[in-house]
Each structure stands twice: as structure tokens, then as C-alpha cells.
Amino acid sequence: MPTELLQLTLDELRQLAAQWGEPAYRGNQLYHALYVEHRRQFEQMTNLPLSIRQRLAGEATITLPEIAARYVSADGAIRYLLRLADGKTIETVWMPESNRQTLCLSTQAGCAVDCHFCATAQLGLLRNLTAGEIVGQVLVVLDDHRDTLRPRTNVVLMGQGEPLLNYDVTLRAVRLLADPAGMNIPLRRITLSTSGIVPGIRRLAGEVVRPKLAVSLNATTDEQRSALMPINRKYPIAELLAACRDYPLRPWERLTFEYVMLGGTNDSPEDARRLAGLIGGLRAKINLIPWNAVPDQPYRAPTEDALDTFQRLLREAGCLAFIRRSRGQDVFAACGQLALLELPAGPD
């Protein structure tokens, strides 16, 4: 079996070089070619001697996802349908802004968590991604915009899947993304969003290299949350918030709570007051995400009035609260809409 390089850390590439009887610094050169220069062909790795390039061509592979389709939103966001080596497809979303781009990555193909308001849930879990498939999404999509890149890149692990149920792989990918000697995306520009997998949050708390944490709270009582997110029966609100209270925030950091606003379900003034009570005392901000339509689901978006009142009540209670309108709704690229939908418009 050839060795798949795109998932190996700098140390592992140095070890590989040593195993091949080469000086370890050849591993650094290979790492640079892969993650800084974005080389995909060994013959282009001109920082390495020909003999090593030839050996790599015979004994190693660099497998990137393939762009199966691009769906371009009127607001500039692009939903990428990416095909993996085994033929499965996943989605990555590109969101350009004036001085930066944000990439929304998948960590699993599909998702097992089964939140009732989310389209990805309808896929079920197809499989975990590998670390190479997670960083590969960044390499492929950045390269697709190589001539127009903004100076900063943000990454959100908020695409298909529950990152903390693919924990080791996701953390390996985060280390690769954040490594200053490689892809160099600072940790404060990488955010992991979880549906509230308490053991995962507690484990993350102990990591030296860790992204920012966002928690999808989405409801204010156990009854309501369990009805929307069955995972709440396993990890109820009190346990989830206890893990959040214990979470060691870095000096520059706040927790983010996401709250999908479902009209008539969880958007009442009482919900707003309960939410303020639940997270009061935490160094946190709340992102209110108006529900994005998913076919055949019994929900509706909140009214503008309900949204504004909800935000105002949170602010009056001393919470930092923002309304986050998702981008790319017209091409099913918005939060909760990633379900591999193929539209007649693509591929372009």
C-alpha cells in the first residue's frame, strides 16, 4: 500500500524520511511542498532531489477531494460538492468577504446526531472523514480561488457532521491547519461547532492546540431541546452547561452559543429570558440563526419582530447577542441545508 501523505504531521514526515534512510529535514521539505506550496505532483516538488521524488511517486500518494460541482449563490458564497476517493460526496462552503474568506468544512460524510431541523441529519452517518480529507477541503477550495485570495482565512468546522464524534481526526486536522510552519491558519480563526457532545467538550478542554468552541444550544428546557435534538437525552442541558462552565477559556476567547430560531417553537420572550438565565455568568456570545428552510420539516423561520425582540431581551439581560443570517440559501449552502442537493445550475 502506498503511504497517503496528506494527513501526516511534520514529525511524521520527518520520521518517514528517516525510515527511508534520508535526513529528517527532507520531511520538512516535503511538508513545505504539501502545505505551503500546495504541490500535488511529486515532480513539481523541486525542493527535493530527483531520487526522492521518484521514490515518492512509487510509494506515496497525495489524494485530494475532486470538485464535483460548484453552486454559486447570488451573495457570493459557493457550495462545493466534493467527491472523495471512495466516490462519496461531501460539501464545503466558501464565503468571501472584503478582507477575508471563510471556509465551512465537513468533518463527517452525513451525520448521526439527528437534529430534527437539520437537512444533514436526513443523510444519516455515511462515514467519518480522514484528516487528509478535512485539510484537503481547504487546499482544494483555496486553490480554486488562488488568484483572488483575501489576506485572511477563517475556518469553521460547521459543515456536514459532528466534529466531536470524529474527535481524533478532527483534532489532527486542526493541528495541520494551524501549524505556523504549514497552512498557518491561526487557532483564533478556527471554530469548531458541536451539538453538545459533553465528553468531547471535556476532552477538548485539555488540549494544548484547540480551536474556538461553539455550542449549538438551540433550546432552553430539556423537554424542548430533547424534542429538537435527541442527543439532549444523553447529554442534557445542565451537564452541557457544566462542561461549558469548566471549559478553560484563553484570555482572548469567548464561548459561542448558537441558537437556531424556529418560529413559534423556541423564539418566545420566555425562551429569551430563560436563555439569558442559563448562560448568565459565562464569558460567551450568542449567535441567533434564523432557521433555513429544509424541505419536509415542520418548522418555520421566525418573524423579524420575534428575532428583534429576542435579541433585545438578551441584550437587556446583559448578554452579547447577534443575529447571524446564513449565506448561500439560494443554493442550499446555508447552515443546516447541507444534504448533497444537486441543482440543475451546476457544475459550472
Size of the site for ligand SAH (CB under 6 A): 17
Which cell goes with 168?
A: 481524533
**Helices 304-316/269-279 angle, 10° precision:** 30
CB under 5 to 8 A by kind: which of ligand SAH, ligand SF4, none does 121 bind?
Answer: ligand SF4
Range 191-220, binding ligand SF4 (CB under 6 A):
195
> Which range touches ligand SAH (CB under 6 A), out of 147-155, 192-200, 203-211, 273-281?
192-200
Distance CA 155, CA 290 (A): 21
Query: Nearest distance from residue 193's CB to ligand SAH, in Å?
Result: 4
Q: Of 315-344, which residues contact ligand SAH (CB under 6 A)?
A: 335-336
Q: Is 185 helix (H, G, I), strand (E, B) or coil?
A: coil
Burial of 270 (0-12, 13-18, 19+ CB in 10 A): exposed
Does residue 289 belong to the site contacting ligand SAH (CB under 6 A)?
yes
Among ligand SAH, ligand SF4, none, what does residue 291 contact (CB within 5–8 Å per kind)?
A: ligand SAH
Nearest approach in angstroms of CB 240 to ligand SAH is 12
Coil, helix or strand for 321? strand
Which residue's CB is nearer to ligand SF4, number 56 or number 118? 118
Q: How far is the CB of 202 from ligand SF4 (least distance, A)?
A: 18
Q: Which does 224 bind (CB under 5 to 8 A by kind): ligand SF4, ligand SAH, none?
A: none
Q: Which amino acid is at 334?
A: A
| 239 has catalytic annotation | no
The single residue among 102, 166, 191, 216 that binds ligand SAH, judged by CB under 6 A, is: 216
CA distance 309 to 169: 40
91 in catalytic set? yes
- Residue from 260, 276, 307, 313 in contact with ligand SAH (CB under 6 A): 260
Least separation in angstroms between residue 338's CB and ligand SAH is 8
Residues in region 154-183 near ligand SF4 by CB under 6 A:
162
Residues 71-130 that bind ligand SF4 (CB under 6 A): 111, 113-115, 118, 120-121
Angle at 283 between CA 280 and CA 288, to 5 degrees: 70
Strand, helix or coil for residue 12: helix
Distance CA 287, CA 267 (A): 13
Whether 134 and 169 have beta carbons less than 8 Å apart is answered as: yes
**C-alpha count within 13 angstroms, C-beta hemisphere, residue 116:** 16
Shortest-Cβ-distance residue relative to ligand SAH? 336
CB nearer ligand SF4, residue 29 or residue 220? 220
Q: Give the neighbor-by-neighbor strand order of the sheet with 89-96.
A: 66-72, 78-83, 89-96, 100-104, 152-157, 190-194, 212-216, 255-261, 284-290, 320-323
- Reported as half-sphere exposure (CB side, CA atoms, 13 A), residue 105 has a value of 30
Q: Restricting to residues 6-25, which ones interact with ligand SF4 according to CB under 6 A?
A: none
* Interface residues toward ligand SF4, by CB under 6 A: 111, 113-115, 118, 120-121, 162, 195
The residue ranges that bind ligand SAH (CB under 6 A) are: 117-118, 158, 162, 193-195, 216, 218, 258, 260, 289, 291-292, 294, 335-336
Active-site residue numbers? 91, 335
